[in-house]
């Protein structure tokens, strides 16, 4: 008489289904990571709270008619770089805040950005909050 049971448990584990799931997750994450584009620009924006006056920044304002002002003083566009460097000083620890009117030609804003980049100055592009 045979007393052994007919239902034997197979001790081998089948990994094929687990491999399929991991493979599908890998494909999913690879495809979704290529669709994500980094369009954020690292820019320090001023907080829109109460008006604070500090000595660590100078404001360069550009009006609609392409007039340049440094801290409420009108500056000729030919002397702009010299005046910015005089106001910033030798240590170059001051930040240049670029305040351009919304209708200013792009080349005028780029002129100030170019001066700041050439002289390795920190700059902030001021925008109006919502």
Range of the domain at 75: 57-125
Q: Count the domains in the chain.
A: 1
Is residue 5 one of the residues assigned to a domain?
no
Is residue 121 one of the residues assigned to a domain?
yes
Sign of CA pseudo-dihedral 55, 58, 64, 65? positive
pLDDT digit string (tens) for 20-55? 999 999 999 888 877 665 444 444 444 555 554 456
What is the reported pLDDT for 21?
A: 92
> In the 8-state DSSP scheme, what is residue 6?
S
Please tell me the distance from the alpha carbon of residue 99 to that of residue 49, in angstroms, as a whole number: 17
Is residue 30 one of the residues assigned to a domain?
no
CATH assignment at residue 92: 3.30.420.270
Cut 0.75: pTM above it: no
In the three-class reduction of DSSP (H, G, I as helix; E, B as strand; rest coil), residue 31 is classed as helix
Is residue 114 one of the residues assigned to a domain?
yes
Is residue 69 one of the residues assigned to a domain?
yes
Q: Crossing angle for the helix pair 80-88 and 106-118, nearest 10 degrees?
A: 50
Is residue 89 one of the residues assigned to a domain?
yes
> Would you say 66 and 77 are in contact if contact means Cβ atoms under 8 Å apart?
yes
> What are the angstrom distances between the C-alpha of 107 and each of 20, 66, 69, 113, 129?
56, 10, 16, 10, 23
pLDDT digit string (tens) for 63-88? 888 888 888 888 888 888 899 888 88
Is residue 130 one of the residues assigned to a domain?
no
Is residue 21 one of the residues assigned to a domain?
no
């Amino acid at each position: 008489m045979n007393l052994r049971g007919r239902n034997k448990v197979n001790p081998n584990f089948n990994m094929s289904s687990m491999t399929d799931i991991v493979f599908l997750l890998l494909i999913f994450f690879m495809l979704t990571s290529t669709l994500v584009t980094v369009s954020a620009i690292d820019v320090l924006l001023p907080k829109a709270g109460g008006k604070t006056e500090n000595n660590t920044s100078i404001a360069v304002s550009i009006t609609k008619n392409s007039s340049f002002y440094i801290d409420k003083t009108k500056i000729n566009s030919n002397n702009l770089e010299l005046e910015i460097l005089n106001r910033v000083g030798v240590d170059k620890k001051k930040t240049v805040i670029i305040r351009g009117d919304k209708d200013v030609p792009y080349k005028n804003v780029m002129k100030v950005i170019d001066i700041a980049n050439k002289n390795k100055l920190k700059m902030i592009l001021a925008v109006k909050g919502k």
